[in-house]
């Protein structure tokens, strides 16, 4: 799946294959909005290894592109079972809330959630979420066009904007329900994988 394919899927949903009502730039904007909102509810899972500096508990997060939130921090890294360290995050800096300051060159494994990518080449979105993005993008496109077309002469009849508005609102409601469901599942997964394990070690991560 790439941006052109997603655009075609949205056009099919809107029944606008010849771009009579929506140009590519407009649809790309609505697709981007749908991807962004989906990313907050069901973000991409990512892992990064950061290295400590001598005597400092702070680590830079600027290299973690499109970061949504820090889910868990393994320190010391590479142990089994994993050791989850408590942490705090502010801006582009994460601080390990540990007693002793790390030595230089110690590995810290950061598990974090990130925004999804959808561009001209490919996407990080799993296939199961492609239809959901199309649903959201089509909903936003239909509602915006209905607002624009109100009180204007339209091909297809004077009430065509009402049909698009109603259709778009129904699709947006479905999109919102799916986002809420994914958000609940994400929170439950995070609790199972990280919070309980950290609590068992007497350390509880602080949300970043």
Which domain range does residue 141 map to?
3-41+117-189
d(CA 160, CA 149): 9
The answer on 138 and 85 residing in a single domain is no
Question: Considering 98, 114, 130, which residue would you say is the last residue of a domain?
Answer: 114
CA nearest to 152, candidates 164, 139, 140: 164
Are 86 and 204 spatial neighbours (Cβ–Cβ below 8 Å)? yes
pLDDT of residue 148: 83
pLDDT of residue 150: 73
Over residues 13-36, the mean pLDDT reads 96
- The answer to the question of residue 142 being in a domain is yes
Are 51 and 108 spatial neighbours (Cβ–Cβ below 8 Å)? yes
- The answer to the question of residue 32 being in a domain is yes
pLDDT tens profile 114-161: 999 999 999 999 999 999 999 999 999 999 999 887 766 455 555 777
The DSSP secondary-structure symbol of 51 reads E
Q: What is the mean pLDDT of the chain?
A: 88
The answer on 10 and 95 residing in a single domain is no
d(CA 146, CA 163): 8
CA nearest to 69, candidates 190, 180, 184, 175: 190
d(CA 13, CA 137): 10
Number of domains in the chain: 2
Reported as a pLDDT band with limits 50, 70 and 90, residue 186 is confident
The answer on 166 and 121 residing in a single domain is yes
The answer on 123 and 110 residing in a single domain is no
d(CA 198, CA 8): 45
pLDDT tens profile 27-78: 999 999 999 999 999 999 999 999 999 999 999 999 998 999 999 999 999 8
**119 token code pair:** 């561009």
pLDDT tens profile 153-184: 455 555 777 888 999 999 999 999 999 999 98
- The answer to the question of residue 194 being in a domain is no
Question: Considering 85, 114, 143, which residue would you say is the last residue of a domain?
Answer: 114
The DSSP secondary-structure symbol of 50 reads E
207 versus 134: which is more confidently predicted? 134
The answer to pTM > 0.95 is no
């Amino acid at each position: 799946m790439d941006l052109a394919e997603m655009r075609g899927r949205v056009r099919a949903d809107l029944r606008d294959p010849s771009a009579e009502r929506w140009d590519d730039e407009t649809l790309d904007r609505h697709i981007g909005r749908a991807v962004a909102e989906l990313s907050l509810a069901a973000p991409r899972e990512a892992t990064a290894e950061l290295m400590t500096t001598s005597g400092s508990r702070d680590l830079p997060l600027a290299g973690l592109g499109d970061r949504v939130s820090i889910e868990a921090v393994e320190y010391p890294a590479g142990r089994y079972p994993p050791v989850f360290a408590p942490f705090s995050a502010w801006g582009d800096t994460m601080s390990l809330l540990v007693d002793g300051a790390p030595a230089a060159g110690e590995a810290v494994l950061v598990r974090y959630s990130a925004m999804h990518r959808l561009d001209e080449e490919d996407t990080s979105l799993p296939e199961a979420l492609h239809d959901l993005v199309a649903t959201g993008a089509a909903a936003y496109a239909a509602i915006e066009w209905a607002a624009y077309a109100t009180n204007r002469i339209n091909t297809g009849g004077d009430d065509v904007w009402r049909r698009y508005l109603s259709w778009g609102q129904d699709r947006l409601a479905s999109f919102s329900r799916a986002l809420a469901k994914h958000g609940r599942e994400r929170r439950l997964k995070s609790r199972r994988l990280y919070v309980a394990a950290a609590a068992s070690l007497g350390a509880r991560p602080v949300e970043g």
